[in-house]
């Protein structure tokens, strides 16, 4: 049986509780922890960051996307996602079956 992360959060100051599940919950937790520094797929590897952000935005979270250049053997650019909403995590982030 696969366990899924389930958290409850609300957008401050007066948002209603929102249930966020699975990788979307994982992404929200990472964004909250990262604060103003934000998250990139390079620093916080996840297969579909852009989709997690898309879904979190549909819940009402304000998330800014910043484009950043990077070098290395495969130079190009990547996104940095910064949570701009003030968020309160209501649940404890435990996994549930």
The confidence band for 95, taking pLDDT boundaries of 50, 70 and 90, is low
Q: What is the pLDDT of residues 18-62, one digit of tens each?
A: 999 999 999 999 999 999 999 998 889 988 999 999 999 999 999
Q: How many degrees, rounded to 5, is the angle at CA 57 between CA 54 and CA 59?
A: 120
| Dihedral angle, C-alpha 18, 62, 66, 80, nearest 10 ° | -20
CA–CA distance from 27 to each of 16, 44, 46, 54 (Å)?
20, 9, 9, 11
Is there a cis peptide before residue 17, judged by omega within 30 degrees of 0?
no
pTM, to two decimals: 0.87
Q: Where are the domains of the chain?
A: 4-92
């Amino acid at each position: 049986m696969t366990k899924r992360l389930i958290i409850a959060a609300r957008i401050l100051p007066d948002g209603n509780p929102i249930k966020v599940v699975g990788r979307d919950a994982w992404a929200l937790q990472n964004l909250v922890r990262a604060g103003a520094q934000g998250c990139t797929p390079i620093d916080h590897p996840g297969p579909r960051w852009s989709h997690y952000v898309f879904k979190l935005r549909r819940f009402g979270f304000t998330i800014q996307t910043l484009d950043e250049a990077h070098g290395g053997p495969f130079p190009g650019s990547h996104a940095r996602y910064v949570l701009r909403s003030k968020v309160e995590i209501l649940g404890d982030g435990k996994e549930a079956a």
